[in-house]
Amino acid sequence: MTIHQGFIKFLLMAAIVLCLRLSPALGADAMEIPGTGACEVLLQGVAEVFNARHPESRVAVPPSIGTVGALRVVMSDQAVLVRVARPLTTEEKEQGLTYLPFARDMVIFAAGSKVPIRNITTAQLVEIYTGRITSWQALGGPNAPIRLLLRQPGDSSLLVIQKHLEAFRNMSFHPAAKLAYTDTKMLDLLHKYHYGIGWLTFSGLKKAQVPLYPLILNGVAPTLENARSQQYSLLEEYALVFKENRLDALAKSFLNFLFSQEGQKVMEQFGAIPLPQE
């Protein structure tokens, strides 16, 4: 064998080893849990620990397709478990779907990495999002323009905000605001715009690659303690939705782990409040 042939053989063997390392084990059970972006980071964290405990299985949490998309794929039997961030409607329940809440998460307003402001009030948020306050200087910060970031109408986190902050219910957002269609995209924009402000779920901040600061709202900090006591009231409920007769062994195993002591501890590490299994 020539040196050239030996080198080619080495490269082929290395490629095979690399593919085996990057791919799930052959024959392993696999399941995706599609759905809302609100709990995407949280469930990815849970799935990572589950997969480590069950090397014969692989649970993946793919990028958001929204709650509506989740319900569509579970009703058409394209997925066994899906993730949602709102209760089912009467019509959806009539499709034979089970709604199983597993956690509550805080919806927080977050400022970019160069914003020194740590406290904000509802009145100030209204002034910001309607465009009457355009510089952080008006709030005691630097003389820098505020970059407005917001989510689309019907977003689950926006619905939580509108439920608890009456001023947001009929607000006309400033037209210069930049729209993010998922929590992941909101995080990307907060990374990009150092003087930005937007909202997302607390657990989503775990994926931040630069310092991002959840703002104290009306004097109440977004902490687990304040969320449990509901002093911090912007709370979003997450649930898994499925058809009982389609739950296979892997889905049942993941559900057992999610509600186990270890699974609940993982969720707490992401700043979420785990819920007991109903």
Q: Any idea what the CATH number is for the domain that residue 252 is in?
A: 3.40.190.10
Give the chain's mean pLDDT.
90
Q: How many CB atoms lie within 10 A of CB 113?
A: 16
pTM of the prediction? 0.87
Name the domain count of the chain.
2
DSSP helix/strand/coil, 134: coil
Indicate if the pLDDT at residue 142 is higher than 60. Answer: yes
Indicate if the pLDDT at residue 79 is higher than 60. Answer: yes
Indicate if the pLDDT at residue 205 is higher than 70. Answer: yes
Q: Write down the pLDDT at residue 278.
A: 80
Q: Which range of residues forms the domain containing residue 24?
A: 3-104+238-274
Which residue type occupies 57? S
Q: Write down the pLDDT at residue 28.
A: 59
Query: Are 80 and 8 found together in one domain?
Result: yes
Query: Are 90 and 115 found together in one domain?
Result: no
Query: Are 117 and 84 found together in one domain?
Result: no
Residue in this structure with the two tokens 């690399």, named with its chain if needed: 18
At 2-55, the pLDDT tens digits run 433 443 343 334 333 333 333 444 345 999 999 999 999 999 999 999 999 999
Q: Write down the pLDDT at residue 14.
A: 34
| DSSP conformation letters of 18-74 | HHHHHSPPTT-EEEE--B-STTHHHHHHHHHHHHHH-TTEEEE-PSP-HHHHHHHHH
Alpha-carbon gap, residue 201 to 158, rounded angstroms? 10
Q: Write down the pLDDT at residue 22.
A: 35
Nearest to residue 65, comparing CAs of 89, 92, 85?
Answer: 85
For residue 233, tell me if it sits in a domain. Answer: no
Q: Write down the pLDDT at residue 13.
A: 40
Q: What is the largest CA-CA distance in the chain?
A: 78
Q: Write down the pLDDT at residue 24.
A: 42
The answer to whether 83 touches 35, Cβ cutoff 8 Å, is yes
Within 13 Å, how many C-alpha atoms sit on residue 147's CB side? 18
The answer to whether 210 touches 58, Cβ cutoff 8 Å, is no
Query: Are 83 and 150 found together in one domain?
Result: no
Indicate if the pLDDT at residue 61 is higher than 50. Answer: yes
At 209-244, the pLDDT tens digits run 888 989 999 999 999 999 999 999 999 999 999 999
At 167-192, the pLDDT tens digits run 999 999 999 999 999 999 999 999 99
Query: Are 117 and 193 found together in one domain?
Result: yes
Residue in this structure with the two tokens 């004097």, named with its chain if needed: 219
Residue in this structure with the two tokens 């689309």, named with its chain if needed: 152
Query: Are 141 and 209 found together in one domain?
Result: yes
DSSP helix/strand/coil, 179: strand
Q: Write down the pLDDT at residue 16.
A: 34
Alpha-carbon gap, residue 36 to 74, rounded angstroms? 13
Query: Are 126 and 166 found together in one domain?
Result: yes
For residue 72, tell me if it sits in a domain. Answer: yes
Q: Write down the pLDDT at residue 211.
A: 86
For residue 111, tell me if it sits in a domain. Answer: yes
